[in-house]
Each structure stands twice: as structure tokens, then as C-alpha cells.
Amino acid sequence: MASGGANNNGGEFSFASSPKTTGNRAGAGRNGLPKIQTQDNGKKLSRQSSAAARAEDLCYDDSATPVKAQTLDELHSLQKKRSTPSTPITAGTTPAGAAANQGAFFTAMSEEDRQRQQLQSISASLASLTRETGPKVVKGDPARSSTPKVAQVEHYTPSISVTDSSMKFTHVLYNLSPAELYEQAIKYEKGSFITSTGALATLSGAKTGRSPRDKRVVRDDTTEDDLWWGKGSPNIEMDEHTFMVNRERAVDYLNSLDKVFVNDQFLNWDPEHRIKVRIVSARAYHSLFMHNMCIRATPEELESFGTPDFTIYNAGQFPCNRYTHYMTSSTSIDLNLGRREMVILGTQYAGEMKKGLFGVMHYLMPLRGILSLHSGCNMGKDGDVALFFGLSGTGKTTLSTDHNRYLIGDDEHCWSDNGVSNIEGGCYAKCIDLSAEKEPDIFNAIKFGTVLENVVFDEHTREVDYTDKSVTENTRAAYPIEYIPNAKLPCVGPHPKNVILLACDAFGVLPPVSKLSLAQTMYHFISGYTALVAGTEDGIKEPQATFSACFGAAFIMMHPTRYAAMLAEKMQKHGATGWLVNTGWSGGSYGSGSRIKLSYTRKIINAIHSGELLEANYSKTEIFGLEIPTAIEGVPSEILQPANTWSDKKAYNETLLKLGGLFKKNFEVFANHKIGKDGKLTVQILAAGPVF
């Protein structure tokens, strides 16, 4: 919208309109034109005509008041009114630390000063560290304004000669609304469309999933001792210098653009442990994605946002230099925990930002004594909280979404002394084969504001075909958590009562449910087991065991045993019970047995929530030593004991021994690692594994 300077009455214009009028002179109509005479002829006048008008022999005039604009641009400027924060920065809204330094008295900051301070912060984020300067930044879309309407940002004196890029303005599109981002995406980003339900369909380019082999973490004095390095670790090291080379490349690319999108948002719904994040990106798609996935700040919170705790530079449309040390492709996702920065080059897949920030929380939160968890979380009407851990295909999203319980979150959480809290402000759901019958909440959440990644739709009706894998099987929807009807807002809850570990056991030897001791919970938490069925293209039908430490090895930063020790401490302190629930096969392995019915699994989960299983009678299995309930209401008793469901007992015992061996082999990498202060927990956890 056009601006008239500092004194523009809140950003709205009023244009004078003074048409010459002639009053009600006899024989003259409006603007001096001859008055039109009408005759009643015995007929009733229209309802809009008044008795007074008939009496004065005046014609009915349905013309509207002229608009207060002289041009179409002025008319369009009137269409949108300015929205500004309603609360000035005062002593009440300034952070406590700053208030202590500045004294008890604060004067309200003018809008112009607030804008200048905000732009200085953004310019500092985009600063080239070699040139010691930030770009000249100005708010607004360059397509809608020809000259900056705000004061220029002060810069450091450049250490080298002035360049062309340092002379240009970079327009900042700051915390745009979904509607504004829709406009930007549809107008400027090829492949962006509005679907029949109102969602924004977009493409992530050549990459339709994460690139874990291209992820790098700076190994320095900050991370040398705290992070997990070496065999089995997801952390591939890089040095500080290489990070700075990639950072410079990303910043130079972003500064070369006419405009960049900047999101200032939060992570963690617990206000005591909230993290401020800034995302600088080149695409409206990325900005809307993070608008949905992070916690959205109110206008009042943005007033005192200040310097972010962590910054993402998403230059994904621009490749990294493959001749740079540590680079193995044109893609690089680089994390510098010392500088609290992340650089993305060579991939436009938005999930890199989400999971990159999750990795940051896996580092920052444990340093505060807070456990970060890759889990779903819901709460009953009586305040009983349950955590759901599980890899892809185990039913984590399905089982944590329960119409009879409140959803705290579907993927990332923290467990602190205050209870549990969702890290994110949205959900990132798989869309392949999505239907209203199977997942009504997710299906109905795909509406205006939702980002749909890489889906296929009808070119005329724009109806999405969720079964179509033409672009990728990894189709996704990102939407605010409040789009789920039973979401609990704010997304926080008391300490968990139950910790549920989900496994889709395609070997068919794990029971549908078993109660775990604390040591067993730690063992299976560190193992992070599920089984996948191999592709049938080459005729292989044997299930394949998959292990992912802490049910999210790709995202953890520290050694898995550190998170396990924290989980054990919190479960013991708050009296939580651990459960292992198999959502996979029964009566045989994949190919001979059958999948455990979802209705049975739901009854098992309900029995856990209600406390029914705490009062049940139990028997113990061989090898894994799991405690199995003898009866659960609504579930056939014969399926509770896996051995009873196999007709070939020899095959059952051989498969059980095979799976036990796979568990032991996987755990070898953790066997020599000290868990807890005295290491006693290590011995207990090892004893909780399979015993032959």
C-alpha cells in the first residue's frame, strides 16, 4: 500500500472530493442537469422512493458517493487498511533483562523508530562478515513501491571497496500473512496453484525429501564433547571455515535478490523455555511453510522480538560449490551451533528447515535439563498425558490422534520440570493415499493456509489425487495445529502418565502389547525398532529390521544414551509407565500371518489410558522377557500371546531367535557407553535386552 510519510494518520489516505453542487434548484437535477420528471399514473412507486420524494416531485437517485480516489492505484490503496501492533514498547513489554539495564521508566517507541530497529536487526542477520556490512534493507514488495519509504539502515564502514550489491536495496517481506504469501507464490513461483479446498499446492524442486548425507555440523570447541560423533552418528563434521564459506555464499545470493522473506517466530510452547528463530528465505512457499510449522508471534510479541536465538539462511535455489572442502554434492545443509546459524544450499525441500530446527532443540534443550522427544502427545479429559514414539508406518500419527483426547502435538516435544510442551506450531502430515474415511482430521485440515507439497491435481477442477505418486511418494501437508479440531491450545500439558513405544513388527513375534520395566523402556527406546517389508520387485518378501536410536536417530545431536538417561530419570520421578505396542503382524511373519486389526490396537491403547492394564494379570515371554496381559476387554485373548497364534511352532522359535539376534547386534554400538553418573544404568539396560 502506498505510504504518505511519517504523518499519514495510521497509514490511511483521505483524498478530498469537492464536486460542485447546485442544491435543489427548481427545474434542475443533480450537477445542474435537467431534472427527470416521473409520473405516478396510479401505480405505486418503488419501496426505495420515499413519500417526501414524491411530494417534492424528485426522481429516485441510486448513485453512490464518489470514491475517495483519483486513480486505480489510489483505489487499490484504499482496499487494504494498515494493520499495526496495538501496544507500544513500554516497560511492560520490554524483556526483564533490558528493563533492569534501562531503568524503570520507558517512553513509548515511535513506529518509525521501531521499524528502523527491526530493519537494523534484519540487516545484521544478512551481513557479509568479510565485508563487515549488512545490505540496505527496506520493507515491502519491490513490485509495489519504487522508492523506500523508511529511513535507511546504518551500516558498518566497509573494509573493501563499495560493490554493486552494496548499493542496491533488498526488499524485506516481513512476517507476511498466508493471504499475502499466496499472492507472492502464485504470481512469482512457477508450480504454485490453489487447490479445490483452498490449499496452496507447490513443488519443492528436484529434492522431494531430506538429504541426510549432505547434512554437516561444525565440529569445534562448543560441540567436540557434547555431540555424538563417529559410528552410527547422524552428525557429519565440517570445520568453521567451510561453514563461513557456505554462509557467505548463501548471504550473497539472498542479498542479490530484489526481495527476501523474513519470518520471526518461536519454538516451544512453554514460555519459560521458548526459543526465538528467524528464517530468511527466497520463496513464499518456504515462508508459508515455516509460518505454519513454527509458533506464530502476535504483533505485540514482534514489537520486542529483538535479536533471534537462531537464524536459518535458506538459499536452497542456489547450489553449494562442490570444490569446497567437505562438500560431496551440490546440496549442503550446514549447522553451526556456536554461531546459532543454519545454512541451506542446493535443496528447496522445506522439511530441511523443520528438522534442522528440531536438531537444534535436541542440542539446546538437554543443556537446560529438558528432554527433547521425537514423539506424538495427547491428553485425556482428566489431564492424563501419553507420549507416542514410533518410526514411519507404526501408526504414531493415527493413534495419537484420538477424538476422545486432546492433541498436544504430533511430532516434536519437550519434557521439562513444568510438564510437556509441543515444540512446533503446526503439523507436517504425509498425504499419500490420504482419505476422509481413514484420516478425517488431516483431510479436513487441508484448506486455505495449508501448504501441499508435490501433490498431483486435476488441471481443471484442482481436486487433489492423493493416490498419485507421479512427483513423489513423499507428498506432504503443512498446516497450523489449530486446524485440528481437538488440538489443545496452548500446546502444553502435565507430566506424562504413559510412555508408549510403537513397533510394526513384520516378523510377527512381538506381542500386541507388553508392560515394560524402566530398564526395558530404556532398552527399546535406544533401539528404536520397527520392521519394513522389502520391495517385491526382485521377489524378496522377507521383512527387514530397522533401528533408529530414540526413534529419531537422524535428528538427535547427543549420544542416544544421554536422552535415555534423561527419560529414565523423568519417568521414575513422575511415575510414568512404559509400554511396547506392536501394530504389525500376528500368526506369522509378513506373507503368512496377518496385520493386527487397528480396532484391537485402539482398544489396547484405550486400556492403557484408562489404567485398566495396570490392574491386569501378566505372564512373561521367552527371549525378550516381556510381560503380557492375559486379558483385555474387546481383544481376543489368543492373540495376546504370539506363540499361540503360530501354527508352526518351530518357525516361531526360529524367527524369535532371529529377531533377538538382530536386537543384540544393533545394541553393540551402545554396550560400552556409560549411561548415568555411575554407569549402573548401563548394566541394567543391557540385562533388559534379549536373553538366549
Q: Which residues are 464's β-sheet partners?
A: 457
pLDDT tens per residue, range 547-606: 999 999 999 999 999 999 999 999 999 999 999 999 999 999 998 999 999 999 999 999
Range of the domain at 635: 376-410+495-687
- Number of structural domains found in the chain: 1
* Alpha-carbon gap, residue 670 to 688, rounded angstroms: 14
CB of 609 closer than 8 Å to CB of 498:
yes
DSSP state of 326: T
Decide if 524 is inside a domain. Answer: yes
Binning pLDDT at 50, 70 and 90, where does residue 321 land?
very high
How many Cβ atoms sit within 10 Å of the Cβ of residue 104?
A: 7
Residue 556 lies in a domain: yes
Least reliable range by pLDDT among 73-87, 239-253, 325-339? 73-87
Q: For residue 101, how many C-alpha atoms fall within 13 Å in the half-sphere facing its CB? A: 4
What lies within 8 Å, CB to CB, of 235 at 6+ separation is: 217, 227, 228, 229, 557
Determine the distance from the C-alpha atom of residue 281 to the mean position of all C-alpha atoms in its chain, rounded to a whole number: 15
Residues 647-662: tens digit of each pLDDT: 999 999 999 999 999 9
C-alpha cell at 435: 482419505
Written as nine digits, the cell of 660 is 533377538
Query: Does 169 fall in a domain?
Result: no
pLDDT interval class at 533 (50, 70, 90): low
Residue 124 lies in a domain: no
Task: Tell me the catalytic residues.
Answer: 210, 355, 374, 392, 396-397, 411, 476
Q: 204 lies in a domain?
A: no
Q: Compute CA distances 455 → 206, 211, 473, 475, whole Å.
A: 14, 20, 9, 6
Q: Give the alpha-carbon dihedral of 621, 624, 627, 632, to 10 degrees.
A: -80
- pLDDT tens across 176-229, in order? 999 999 999 999 999 999 999 999 999 999 999 999 999 999 999 989 999 999
Q: List beta partners, residue 421.
A: 414, 492
Name the phi and psi angles at 405, rounded to 5: -135, 160
Give one word for 665, left, alpha or beta, with left for phi > 0 and alpha for psi -120 to 50.
alpha
Least confident among 636-645, 661-670, 680-689: 680-689
Q: Which one has a higher pLDDT value, 508 or 87?
A: 508
Lowest mean pLDDT among 38-47, 67-76, 123-132, 402-411: 38-47
What grid cell was written down for 689?
A: 535386552
Task: Identify the bridge partners of residue 420 per DSSP, sorted by sequence position.
Answer: 415, 493
Q: How far is CA 453 from the centre of its chain?
A: 14
Task: For 365, list phi and psi in degrees, rounded to 5.
Answer: -70, -45
**Which CATH number covers residue 629?**
3.90.228.20
C-beta of residue 585 within 8 angstroms of C-beta of residue 508: yes
Which three cell numbers, joined as nine digits, stand for 611?
489404567
CB 601 within 8 A of CB 512: yes
Q: Is residue 309 part of a domain?
A: no
Residue in the structure block whose three cell numbers are 529390521: 545
Q: H helices within 528-635, ranges in order? A: 560-574, 598-610
Q: How many angstroms separate the CA atoms of 175 and 299, rounded?
A: 10
The candidate with the shortest Cα–Cα distance to 143, out of 83, 203, 196, 184, is 184
Cα–Cα distance for residue pair 586/608, rounded to 1 Å? 20
Strand partners, 514: 580
Strand order in the sheet with 169-174: 136-139, 169-174, 259-267, 275-281, 310-315, 341-345, 332-336, 215-218, 237-238
- Which pTM does this prediction carry? 0.81
Find the mean pLDDT for residues 46-59: 42
pLDDT of 153 above 80: no
Quick check: is 577 in a domain?
Answer: yes
Residue 445 lies in a domain: no
Q: What is the DSSP letter of 34?
A: B
